């Protein structure tokens, strides 16, 4: 991907000295970075490296044992997420943030229609005209390559790839500024993954989204991200522009990841 258009923008999200301990187990240790508007960051590493814990910390689903995460609100003020009340955090997830789960069933209401899944998010931010909501839902189904004729079908009748595309539509319909993605292509067939990745890349670019993507798949990182952070044992051991890290990794662990996962 092209280099992020950070320009003179102030950071959107800032992590400072983040750590999470479970007794003697250290899940994350001393992680600091800034994410800028429109930038896509991939966090990579093998299972158990701490990347999923980091995503939960960044999205305020876990409280850190040390350090803090700050987010720039729409009024321009950078606020510590720990200082927000539960209602304020919920409001962020309805408006400024999206969260795409690896298992779409975690991010969808499986017993209501596809249109209702998208429409609920609009209703949460104040939309109340049924015709406008249905029109917007139809438009987003088209954007994620789901036939509009399936708008009244429930997600459990959808394939895995369609469910993931519906989850993306549900998250993006309110035009969030930041999207968290947890292994968004995990568990899908290779051909379905390729189609979904192409869709995600186009939407992220078109909407100018900032995104943090957790993945063990370096091909996903290369296709979607501007910057990569490599985690091992709860620590960030290497970070840099995606092509730089993947084409010329500095750390032996990153070299091993690249040589074992990416084709020559």
pLDDT, tens digit, for every residue of 214-261? 998 898 999 999 999 999 999 999 999 999 999 999 999 999 989 876
What is the pTM assigned to this prediction? 0.92
pLDDT of 42 strictly over 70: yes
Closest CA to 89 of 103, 79, 101: 79
Q: Highest-confidence range of 24-28, 196-200, 237-241, by mean pLDDT?
A: 237-241
Q: Looking at the predicted structure, is the pLDDT value of residue 5 above 90? A: no
Q: If you search the block for the tokens 């839902």, which residue do you land on? A: 137
Q: CA–CA separation, 221 vs 160, rounded Å?
A: 21
Domains along the sequence of the chain with CATH: 1-96+216-264 (3.40.50.300)
The rounded distance, in Å, linking the Cα atoms of 83 and 73 is 13
């Amino acid at each position: 991907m092209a280099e992020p258009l950070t320009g003179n923008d102030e950071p959107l999200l800032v992590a400072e000295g983040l750590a999470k301990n479970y007794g003697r187990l250290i899940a994350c240790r001393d992680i600091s970075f800034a994410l800028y508007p429109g930038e896509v960051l991939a966090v990579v590493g093998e299972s158990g490296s701490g990347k999923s814990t980091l995503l939960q910390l960044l999205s305020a689903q876990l409280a850190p044992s040390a350090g803090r995460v700050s987010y720039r609100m729409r009024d321009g003020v950078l606020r510590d997420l720990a200082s927000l009340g539960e209602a304020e955090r919920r409001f962020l997830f309805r408006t400024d943030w999206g969260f795409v789960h690896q298992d779409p069933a975690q991010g969808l209401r499986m017993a209501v229609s596809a249109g209702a899944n998208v429409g609920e998010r609009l209703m949460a931010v104040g939309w109340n005209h049924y015709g406008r909501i249905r029109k917007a839902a139809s438009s987003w189904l088209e954007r994620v390559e789901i036939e509009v004729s399936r708008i009244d079908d429930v997600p459990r009748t959808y394939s895995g790839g369609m469910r993931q595309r519906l989850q993306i539509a549900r998250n993006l319909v309110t035009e969030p500024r930041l999207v968290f993605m947890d292994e968004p292509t995990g568990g899908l067939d290779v051909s379905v993954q390729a189609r979904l990745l192409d869709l995600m890349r186009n939407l992220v670019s078109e909407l100018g989204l900032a995104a943090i993507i957790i993945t063990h798949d370096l091909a996903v990182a290369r296709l979607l991200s501007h910057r990569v952070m490599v985690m091992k044992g709860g620590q960030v051991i290497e970070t840099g522009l995606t092509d730089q890290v993947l084409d010329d990794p500095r750390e032996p662990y990153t070299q091993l990841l690249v040589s074992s996962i990416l084709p020559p």
